[in-house]
Amino acid sequence: MKVIVYAISKNESAFVDRWMDSMSESDGVYVLDTGSDDDTVEKLRSRGAHTEIGMVSPWRFDEARNRSLALVPDDADICVCTDLDEKFRPGWRAALERAWLPDTDRATYEYAWSMTDGKPGTVFLYEKIHTRRGYKWTHPVHEVLERTDGRTENRVRAYGVFLEHHPDPNKSRAQYLPLLELSVAENPEDDRNMHYLGREYMFRGRWDDCIRTLRRHLAMPNAVWKDERAASMRFIAHSLYMKGDAAGARDEYLRAIAEAPHLREPYVDLAEMLYSLGEWDGVLYFTACALKIAARPETYICEEKAWGSLPHDLRSIAYFETGRPQAALKEAERALSLSPKDKRIAGNVELLRAAAERDVAKNT
């Protein structure tokens, strides 16, 4: 099979070599550069990437991706869309070919949205590998692939294909909000982008806009995915709490738990709020509920903090505050095993070890 990688770029010079090394398992790389003023284009071309320059104005991610897809040769069997701040783990080409069947249209595979100390944080299934014909990108931001012929697509799970995202923390997110507002204006019945817009308002501290938008999302008849509905409820709760309405926030967190009891995130979010309020028994109860959930769903809703050291860290502090230093020490040690470089947790372990020893001495 002929496997072609395609991408868009702008001022990605720092990532070119790592990306091209990762994409070298393909049969060709095609890039649309949308206006770099560094040496991205020169680096890409020197590494063998077919690179063309094309401005997209007004800027939209779907337009840029469609123009980059148009660069791909017609005889490509499989198109692989990535960004330059991403890289595949070695062996991805062979794993993809093992999974691909004669009637396959698209492949799903694991994607690490965040990497911490070389380890994946938030991991979910991605779906940007597809056939050459029958697809187009839609939506100005958070763009998705859609069939152009209306036919039901055949998907395969490509086990062994793992894409890592290594984002540049200095890259601006300024364009996301106006593009999301445009996306919702263009497709007011699209529940996913309504959710994304409300979440973006939360990120920017626009609490009333967040609450209003996400209540709109929850009222949409096509907003039926429980994981995403629960996330909207969590974001409403956080906004209410930031506005000083702790009681209203508690109610929303409990709604989120009832909506998606299989997710850790609502329990952990509520435990964090109760921690800030000094309600230690509640912290212990809801973190215990979270930790009973052992299977991590493969969706973007799952957040790194709920599956890392945080639940144990919260439990450690709650046990200490309720006079149980030995239980607090055990939880702090569990937290440290999950975040071995966290100096605060390491310090807590030392303090709690001494407190636990005093507690044993006092009771013997």
Chain segment 231-253, per-residue pLDDT in tens = 999 999 999 999 999 999 999 99
Task: Give me the pLDDT at residue 333, please.
Answer: 97
How many structural domains compose the chain? Answer: 1
Mean pLDDT along residues 329-344: 96
Helix, strand, coil % in the chain, rounded to nearest 5: 50, 15, 35
In a domain, 142, yes or no: yes
pLDDT value, residue 188: 96
Q: Is residue 160 part of a domain?
A: yes
Give Rg (Cα) of the chain: 24
Residue 361 is predicted with a pLDDT of: 83
Is residue 115 pLDDT above 90, yes or no? no
351: in domain: no
- Residue 143: give the domain boundaries: 3-165
Each residue's pLDDT tens digit, 259-298 = 999 999 999 999 999 999 999 999 999 999 999 999 999 8
Answer whether residue 182 is part of any domain. no
In this structure, is residue 125 part of a structural domain?
A: yes
Question: Above 80 in pLDDT, residue 24?
Answer: yes
CATH number, domain of 102, equals: 3.90.550.10
pLDDT in tens, 220-229: 999 999 999 9
Q: Is the residue at 131 inside a domain? A: yes
Assigned domain for 194 exists: no
Tell me the β-bridge partners of 123. Answer: 112
Residue range 64-77, pLDDT digits in tens: 999 999 999 999 99
User: Is residue 286 situated within a structural domain?
Assistant: no
Reduced to 3 states (helix: H, G, I; strand: E, B; else coil), residue 251 is: helix
**Is the pLDDT reported for residue 122 higher than 90?**
no
Helix count and strand count (H, E) for the chain = 14, 12
Token pair of 18 as six digits: 């790592």
* pLDDT (0 to 100) of residue 202: 98
Other C-beta atoms lying within 10 Å of the C-beta of residue 276: 11
